[in-house]
Structure 1
C-alpha cells in the first residue's frame, strides 16, 4: 500500500524564502543589513522544514524499536552534514538575488560553479551515508528512506524554484 506524504510545512516556509529573496533583490543598496535579515528569514524557514522533515520520515518509514534506536542517530548525523549544504545553498540564493537584475556572464559563472558543486556534494553525502544506513537497516528500508528523502528534496527544490526568478 502506498503511503501519501504530506508537505504542509512547505508553503509557509517558502513564502518566507520568497520574501527574503524579494527583500535582498529590491534593496541592494543596504546590502549587509538586508542580506543578514534575508539570511535569518531563510534560516528560520529551513529550521521549520527540518523539524517537519523528521516527522514525515518517521511517519513514512516503519521501524521496529531496535531499528529506530540504530537509525535515528545516523539520520541526525546525515541531516547535520546536509545542513552545511543548506547553508551554502542559502548563500548562493542570496548571492543570486544581489546580482539578478544586472546578471551577465561574469556574474553567472561563479554562481553556476557553486550550484554544480553543491549538487555534487549532495550526492557525495548520500553515497557516504548509504553504507552507514545499510549497517543499521535492511536494504529495502534504506531504499525507502532514500525515496522519502528524495521526495522531500524534490518538493523543497520545486517550491524554491517557484520563488527564484529565471535569468533574463
Structure 2
C-alpha cells in the first residue's frame, strides 16, 4: 500500500468532523466500521479486499480469517473504549491507586491486541503472503490509531497538553506575528 494512499486516508479521517460527531460516553462499539462506511461507502471487508487486491481464489480463506480476526478484536476494542470512557468520566475523582489500576488495565489491553495481531499475522501470511499480510495490518493499525486518536481527544489531559502547546507556541513567535 502506498504512502500516498495511507496519507489520503488519514487526511480524510481527520478532516471529516462529521465522522466523529459521536459522544465517547455513548460509544459502545468501535468507530472503525462507521468510519469505513462513511469514507468509502462500503464495508470494511470490501475495502480490505480491494486495497489488498484479494483474488477470487483467495477470497474465501481471506474472508474467513478476516471475520475471525474482527470477531476476536471486537471485545478488545470495546474494553479499550470502556477503559478510556471510565478515565474520562472519573477524571476528577482519580486518585493514585485508581489511576495506577486503570493504566495497568490499558497496558494489558494493548498487550492483548498485539498478541491478537501476532497470531493473525501468521494466519494472514498463509492466506495472502507476507507482503499483503503486512499491508493488512498496516491498514488495520491505521484505522485503529485513527479511532484511538478520536477517543483520546476527548480526554481532559489531552486538552491540557494542547493548551500548553498553544501557549508555548505563542511565546516562541517573534513580535509582530
Q: TM (normalized to structure 1)?
A: 0.74
Q: Counterparts of 1:91 and 1:64 in 2: how far apart (Å)?
A: 37
Once the two structures are superposed, residues 49-107 of structure 1 have per-residue CA deviations (whole angstroms, 9 ceiling, x without a partner) of 47554343233211111112210110110011110101211221232123102222122
| Structure number having the greater helix percentage | 1
Q: CA deviation at 1:133?
A: 1.2
CA distance in 1, matches of 2:23, 2:78: 13
**Within 5 Å, which residues of 2 pair with 1:5-154?**
5=6, 6=9, 7-8=12-13, 11-18=17-24, 20=25, 38=26, 41-43=27-29, 45=31, 48-49=34-35, 52-154=43-145
What is the rounded CA distance, in whole Å, between the counterparts of 1:112 and 1:156 in structure 2?
Answer: 19
With the length of structure 2 as denominator, give the TM-score of the two structures: 0.71
- Higher relative contact order, chain-length normalized (CA < 8 Å, sep 6+): 1
Structure 2: stretches of 5+ with no match in the other structure: 38-42, 161-177
Larger-Rg structure: 2
Deviation of 1:166 after TM superposition, in Å, equals 0.9
Judged with a 3 Å threshold, the aligned counterparts in structure 2 of structure 1 residues 11 and 124 are, in CA distance, closer, same or farther, namely farther
Q: Please name the residue that 2:175 is paired with.
A: none
C-alpha root-mean-square deviation of aligned residues, in Å? Answer: 2.6
Q: Which runs of 5+ in 1 are unaligned?
A: 21-37
